[in-house]
Amino acid sequence: MFLGLPWGYWLGFALVLWLLFDLVRGVAHLWHPYERQSQPGMYWLTMIVWALVAASCFVYPHWPIAY
């Protein structure tokens, strides 16, 4: 059942796990690490960016691929 999922879903699952890991740890990476305590604005912006990327994997699981 799960093995038949599109590869975009697997990427989305991995990104959600990464997002949760960063949320617990309090450090998010975009170009360099942003800590929740010292740079809360950039930390949450980075978390939003990664959340949107993860969500796009579930909305568009089949990215344009030449068939």
Question: In this structure, are residues 27 and 34 in contact, taking their beta carbons and an 8 Å threshold?
Answer: yes
Q: Can you give the pTM of this predicted structure?
A: 0.76
3-state SS class at 50: helix
Per-residue pLDDT of the chain (67 residues; tens, 9 = 90+): 566 677 778 888 999 999 999 999 999 988 888 999 999 999 999 999 999 998 888 886 665 554 4
